[in-house]
């Protein structure tokens, strides 16, 4: 059995001289193979600085792609960070939720009200924040038929009002997939 790293190990990795992408890859691998427990990682995430929270949110996005079941017990914690004030958290957390939506559609749907807050253009909601919210909302709509009657009209309205083609296209692609 793999030896579990402690919270201090996360700090050591984040403070190392490695490039950010390397730090991310090390942390993702350590969580996915159990060297860092999901509980320890979320404990660190909760108490981390905004810079470290941003790095951790990016790690969570990649863990959700590789081993979504690891994050399933923490979906409510993730949802709690959807509107966090640090931009990198507002990017990574919604993408993680979007990645989990296909397997945990009912649980991911609890994020909809918060994601809708990030989906409208504002000073705080940059194009990247809106794109990440659009991704999560689109994945939730595609994977959860029970909320479509409520969510699809909202997505159509967001697509009509969105000025950025990349964000708008995410919505349009999801609507096309749903209408098939």
Please give the model's pTM, rounded to 2 decimal places: 0.93
Q: List pLDDT tens digits, range 114-167.
A: 999 999 999 889 999 999 999 999 999 999 999 999 999 999 999 999 999 999
What is the sign, positive or negative, of the torsion defined by CA atoms of 87, 152, 149, 99?
negative
Query: Tokens standing for 120?
Result: 């409208």
Fold of the domain built from segment(s) 7-179: 1.25.10
Q: List pLDDT tens digits, range 17-72.
A: 999 999 999 999 999 999 999 999 999 999 999 999 999 999 999 999 999 999 99
For the chain, the domains span 7-179
Query: Tokens standing for 142?
Result: 């595609």
Residue 1 has pLDDT above 70, yes or no: no
């Amino acid at each position: 059995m793999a030896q579990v790293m402690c919270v201090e190990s996360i700090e050591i990795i984040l403070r190392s001289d490695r490039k950010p992408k390397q730090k991310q890859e090390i942390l993702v691998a350590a969580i996915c193979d159990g060297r860092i427990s999901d509980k320890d990682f979320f404990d660190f995430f909760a108490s981390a600085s905004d810079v470290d929270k941003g790095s951790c949110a990016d790690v969570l996005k990649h863990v959700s792609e590789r081993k979504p079941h690891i994050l399933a017990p923490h979906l409510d914690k993730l949802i709690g960070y959807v509107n966090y004030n640090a931009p990198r958290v507002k990017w990574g957390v919604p993408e993680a939720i979007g990645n989990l939506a296909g397997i945990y559609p009912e649980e991911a749907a609890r994020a909809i009200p918060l994601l809708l807050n990030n989906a409208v253009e504002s000073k705080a909601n940059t194009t990247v924040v809106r794109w990440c919210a659009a991704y999560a909302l689109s994945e939730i709509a595609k994977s959860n038929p029970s909320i479509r009657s409520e969510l699809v009209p909202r997505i159509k309205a967001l697509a009509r009002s969105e000025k950025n083609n990349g964000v708008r296209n995410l919505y349009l692609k999801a609507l096309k997939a749903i209408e098939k």
